[in-house]
Structure 1
Amino acid sequence: MLTGQLHAATVPPEAADWALEPPRLYFRDVPLASSGDTLTLTVDDDALDHYDIALYFLEHYDVLGTLTFWPGGVLTFVGAVKTDANDARIPLVVRCTAI
């Protein structure tokens, strides 16, 4: 099981006039499947129904994609943010080193 929050260091420049805090991707108690030396979770609608996973940026947004924990403590998320506007999706790529 993996629990974590990935916070952006700053508010994106295009949102500086209205955003109160930087965006954060969070996930709580998600199971990761072993695949060689990595652990992964495919974040789809089924995973969203069962686990607490979202992007928070003034409100909570669902995300779809792949969460991967690599050797050396590197965590990545590659996918998209689901918006309410016509089910539009905005690409999202996050990479960080776990501390």
Structure 2
Amino acid sequence: MLLADLYHMKMDDESPESIVKYGKLIKHVHIAEKEDRAVPGTYNEDFRPYFNALKKTGYKGKISIEARWKDFNTQIPVAIETIKTQLNN
């Protein structure tokens, strides 16, 4: 089993194609923006290439936001909307 950590993939300039290559082994996904390990939607980082790679594999699991929260109640709606929007584009 593998964890696809999009924050670390972006930090290491790892291609979304790695997700396609190992997709059948991926059981969970973590997400945070590259800059400041921020909550998705903070700097409007584009995760679509990684989400598209996950779709190619048929991934249906969960995505956890593993970020540096500053104000959870304010940031969570933005983060969820950002992820939903990018997943559907």
Say which one has the larger Rg. 1
Q: Under TM normalisation by the shorter chain, which class is it? A: under 0.3
- Structure 1 or 2: larger strand share? 1
Higher relative contact order (CA 8 A, sep 6+): 2
Q: Which has the higher helix share?
A: 2
Superposition TM-score, scaled by structure 2 size: 0.28
